Structure 1
Amino acid sequence: MNHYILFYETVDGYVEKRQPYRDQHLRLANEFRERGELVMAGAYDPADGAALVFKGESEDVAENFARKDPYVMKGLVNRWWVRKWSVVVG
């Protein structure tokens, strides 16, 4: 099993703009977590982006999340990308 990090670059005013979609976003995140695919996730401080760590056979697990995420679909994420993460400790 590999790890992948999904990086989000968010729009100005993201914290306020995400409110109408937050419950949907968290529901999706919890679905992925319950399946063991999402390990951890959170916004940066300040919240100009976020990082989500996934576990899976390929980057598809993280890409599938991003494509379903209401934050992405509603334009709150300017740009997203996935990187394979070679975990050394943990």
Structure 2
Amino acid sequence: MPYYALTYITAENFVERRMPYREQHLLLAQQYHDNQILLAGGSMQPAIESLLIFHCENEDVVKSFMRQDPYVQNGLVKAWYIREWNIVIGDKFIKKEK
């Protein structure tokens, strides 16, 4: 199963503006973390981007997450891109498929 990196480029004043939507966003991310998101987080000072690593069947899973994400729905993400991710080092921390 492939890996995908979802990068969000966040809007100005993201940290302040996200507060009304943060709980919903984290709940959604936790639901996907149970099966598809391996890691997720944002850059610090400046908080201008976020990175989420998915392990899923295809890019449609990532797009489904984005469509539901209140940060996207409420204009807190000004740009995004999805790239298939190739793990070169660090796979010992990832559960192996059987």
TM-score (norm 1): 0.95
CA distance in 2, matches of 1:14, 1:39: 23
For 1:80, the equivalent position in structure 2 comes to 80
CA distance in 1, matches of 2:80, 2:64: 12
Matches within 5 A, 1:1-90: 1-34=1-34, 36-45=35-44, 46-89=46-89, 90=91
CA distance in 2, matches of 1:33, 1:57: 14
- Spell out, residue by residue over 1:38-71, the C-alpha distance to the aligned partner (whole angstroms, 9 max, x if none): 1010011121010000011111111111111000
Q: Percent identity?
A: 44
CA distance in 2, matches of 1:7, 1:27: 19
Q: Which runs of 4+ in 1 moved over 3 A?
A: none
TM-score (norm 2): 0.87
Q: Could you say what the CA RMSD is over the residues aligned between the two structures, in angstroms? A: 0.8
Q: Which has the higher strand share?
A: 1
SS at match of 2:65: helix
**Structure 2 unpaired stretches of 5+:** 92-98
Of the two, which has the highest radius of gyration? 2
